[in-house]
Structure 1
């Protein structure tokens, strides 16, 4: 009997499943290891915090590798595997309202951030890696 490996996917804003392997290919092609970003939007930062602070989830994945990943006051350095988990969680987390943001505001910020990260990596809305040049970024 052969083993079947099921690959986790990220659901993007178009409700298209983007396989982790596509994201990992894009990270390699764009030399984005680690993926760095500076978050200035407070709602995006709050959404990231809720995604990272979940710990190990139902997929048995965590979004933070101690000593490798950095999430500090708006600055992020994210390893490839953690970025896949973060992107998945940005699309499927049931956000909780905070003192400063409603759950809907956090959802909007999360899906916007997820779309932006995928675009920067050269992944289109159909979940296909097309490269940064095809996305008009180079």
Structure 2
């Protein structure tokens, strides 16, 4: 967060940058009540492999940013009512709107690193949860 503050100061001339560490419940209350008056850190981890997980969770009505777009909302609702490639098409159109209007500014993405060896088996890497499941790994004899 210090890096973000320094960039705001150096590139935009915003000198009075202060960060508050808040309990999740306190931040949720500020955001849900519409009382937040500045930028906030929002993160989202994909729960299942679908574009719907991001669009519905971050941008759909009731989202924390307060951003709203009727065309976007209609496309997400359409995607939620459809299945397969038709749903994906509606979500992709909605995503185009979110990318054009950019209600959130992406700053970074988490990374996990793993290694591989022929001497082990049962290596399960789960990009949607805990990364490498060490409890499942066995050694080849």
The structure with the largest alpha-carbon Rg is: 2
Same fold, TM-score > 0.5, yes or no = no
Which structure is higher in helix share?
A: 2
Which structure is higher in strand share?
A: 1
TM-score (norm 1): 0.29
With a CA cutoff of 8 Å and minimum separation of 6, indicate the structure with the bigger relative contact order: 1
TM-score (norm 2): 0.28
